[in-house]
Amino acid sequence: MKKRFGVLRIIATILKVLGIITAALSILGALGALIASFAGGSLWSMLGYDANAGFFVGFLGSFGVLIFGVLYAVFMYGSGELITLFLSMEENTMQTVKLLEDVIKDEQV
């Protein structure tokens, strides 16, 4: 049977790949922010924080980047999986219709 909806299959694959890339980049970004929080007060003083508060701001920032980045990645990957699910349901429904049409033709003969 010929595969239908080729563009949707491509979009689903792209969403899954972008979800994985987003998860990896959010983990790297969180690690970068965590390392920056340990870097010392000079980085945070440029942003307007004192050295003591800079550690906590960097720690909370890295935690926020990690949580929101991973959630966004999960939603992107889930959207790709949802499109794949709908395509599989359509494919299964078409196979069932063809099977029922064959059964009806056999009964009529």
Q: Identify the CA nearest to 66 among candidates 30, 16, 25.
A: 30
| 3-class state of residue 27 by DSSP | helix
pTM for the full model?
0.80
Task: Tell which residue, 65, 89, 69, 72, has the closest CA to residue 15.
Answer: 72
pLDDT 10s digit of each residue in the chain, 109 long? 677 888 999 999 999 999 999 999 999 999 988 887 777 656 667 777 776 777 777 788 899 999 999 999 999 999 999 999 999 999 999 999 999 999 998 888 6
- Distance, in Å, from the CA atom of 55 to the CA atom of 51, rounded to the nearest integer, reads 7
**Residue pair 12/83 in contact by the 8 Å Cβ criterion:** yes
